Amino acid sequence: MELRDCRFYYGGQDMNFAVYSDIPCRAIYLGSIPLPFGQTRVDIYEVEPSEKAQWVIIKQRDCDKENLKFFVRKGDKILESELHHLSKTVRENIVRRFPKLSAEFKPPLAA
C-alpha cells in the first residue's frame, strides 16, 4: 500500500500515531468521526512525506496495542514494507536517527 492512501487516527491518549522519517513530514487533517458515546471524536489524518524522504515509520497506538508501519521510497512512491525487507542501509539510518524507536522493533535491529 502506498503511504498517501493510508489514513491515521487520533482520539487522544488511547488512539494516536507518531511519524518518524529521515526528513520531516506533514500530517494533514482530513476530518473527524463523532463517536456515539460521550462527547468524543476521532480525527482522521494523512501523512504527506517530503519529496526527498526515503523512509517513513508510523507508530500507531490503539488502546494497549502498538504497531509500527514501515514505508520506503521506490521511485516516486512511498510503499509499505515489512521490517525484514528493509535494506541494511535503511535499518542503520533508522537506528542512528531514532535509537529508542529501534528497541521497539520485533525482532530488534542490529546496528
Per-residue pLDDT tens digits for 11-35: 888 899 999 999 999 999 999 998 8
Residue 25 counted as domain residue: yes
Residue 45 counted as domain residue: yes
Residue 88 counted as domain residue: no
Residue 95 counted as domain residue: no
Residue 111 counted as domain residue: no
Residue 49 counted as domain residue: yes
pTM over 0.75: yes
> CATH number, domain at 43?
2.60.40
Domain containing 17: what range?
Answer: 3-82
- Domains: count for the chain: 1
Per-residue pLDDT tens digits for 34-69: 888 776 889 999 999 999 999 999 999 998 898 999
Residue pointed to by grid coordinates 530488534: 108
In the chain, the largest separation of any two C-alpha atoms, in whole Å, equals 47
Residue 104 counted as domain residue: no
Among candidate residues 69, 91, 66, the one with its CA nearest the CA of residue 81? 69
